[in-house]
Chains A and B, each alone.
Chain A
Amino acid sequence: MSIVEGLSGVLIVAGGFFFLAGTAGLLRFPDIYTRLHALTKADNLGLGLVVAGLCLRARSWAEAVTLIAIWLVVLLTGSTACYLVARFALRSGIRPWRHR
């Protein structure tokens, strides 16, 4: 196994860890705002690391650029969707959770 392949594997596993952590947060965090926080970490960092790992294995530059474009679109869409959900929740009168 070459160094590039090993690095790629490490990046993909790290990305998987963020997805796992994001899912755990989604299930365990106390309110909608903290859950959104956990979810967007999975989208941004998790997918970013997986894409970085896959780019190292890409057969061509075009493939790597496509992967990065997918990540950028998901970044944009994820953050906008998160903002919309949070805005709707805030307007519906859901108060952010506070530690007692």
Chain B
Amino acid sequence: MMPLSTLFDALLAALLVALAWGALSSRDLFRSIVLFMIFGILSAMAWARLDAPDIALAEAAIGAGLTGILLLDTLGALGERNRPGAGPVRETDAFAGWGRWLTLRNAVLGASVFGAGVAAAAAASGLTDGEGLAAAVAESIGEAGVSNPVTAVLLNFRGYDTLLEVGVMLLAVIGVLSLRATAKAPASPAGPLDPQLSAYGRLMAPVMVLVAGYLLYAGAHAPGGAFQAGAVLGGALVLLGLCGFTPPGRLQAANRGLLVLGFCVFLLAAVALTAAGYSLLEYPAGRAGLWIFWIEAALGLSTAFLLAELVSSRVPGGRP
């Protein structure tokens, strides 16, 4: 008889493909987004099953949570499908031009077959037993300054990769901000906050800040780190926005500074280390842990504000 865990994994894999199919083939955009969010939660579970808790955390917070909110936010801005019972959204011209042979359904089917083929090829060639670079990382983890191999790779061994990624994220948000400057700012409706929603925000936001701080601290020796912490903190900011809380004026002014803080700190560290005669993002021996902690703290804070900045609307849900 098949072991229970294999049965669970097979069910999970089948559900993932079914959800991806459903999300892409549904003609109702709201349904698509909800299926996509469920897909995110289940793929986080799949990463956890693959012993990759770092990716599972990021997928749950960003893939399922924030991306879902962004998509719903966009749908609300489109204003087409706000009312239940409204008709399905028409296919856009861009998709119609693809021709009949390359529909989204066929694309999903093709991708599934391709994925299954790659998995089969990997299994056949014994790639699944390979350790990749795990041995190389384990060998030099002693001088990395952190004991969590994922953080060691992200912030030390391949720090320049992360530096560029943070730069790309910052550029993307600057792009969004410059586009939004021409759009009309959403009018914030007056009136008292919804009691239940604001009570929920008041209770949960501090808990989320605590969790974010823990993830940042734990990243050095356990799953966690700047991006997971930033995603949770960003979620707290979005939650407060959805509950109808507006940041005080002083924070709004500091907002842009917080957006660039992480990238600037990272870049300054890289420049300072290079000027001091080290190679790019090579930390002074024995001090690596400290350098990584401060860079991560700045990155986490910036990630939170970058992600929260993307969610534009202070949805009027906070007002009864």
Q: Which residues of A contact B (CB under 8 A)?
A: 73, 76-77, 80, 83-84, 89, 92, 94
Contact = CB atoms under 8 A, between A and B. Distances in A.
Contact of B84 (A73, A77, A89): A89
Query: How big is the B interface, by class?
Result: under 10
Instruction: Give the secondary structure class of A's interface.
Output: helix
A83 B84 contact: no
B197 A84 contact: yes
9 contacts: A73-B204, A76-B200, A76-B204, A77-B200, A77-B204, A80-B200, A83-B196, A92-B83, A94-B84
Q: Tell which of A73, A89, A94 has the most Cβ of chain B within 10 Å.
A: A73
Contacts of B84: 89, 92, 94
Q: Tell which of A73, A80, A83, A89 has the most Cβ of chain B within 10 Å.
A: A80
Contacts of A84: 197, 317
Nearest to B196: A83
A92 B81 CA distance: 13
B133 interface: no
Interface in B157-199: 196-197
Given A92-B83, A92-B84, A80 B207 contact: no
B203 A76 contact: yes
A80 B83 contact: no
A54 B285 CA distance: 45
A83 B196 CA distance: 8
Contacts of A89: 84
B317 to A, nearest CB: 7
Contacts of A83: 196
A91 to B, nearest CB: 10
9 closest A-B pairs (Cβ-Cβ)? Answer: A80-B200, A83-B196, A92-B84, A80-B196, A92-B83, A76-B200, A76-B203, A80-B197, A84-B317
A25 B18 CA distance: 23
Nearest to B201: A80
Contacts of B207: 73
B23 to A, nearest CB: 20
Contacts of B204: 73, 76-77
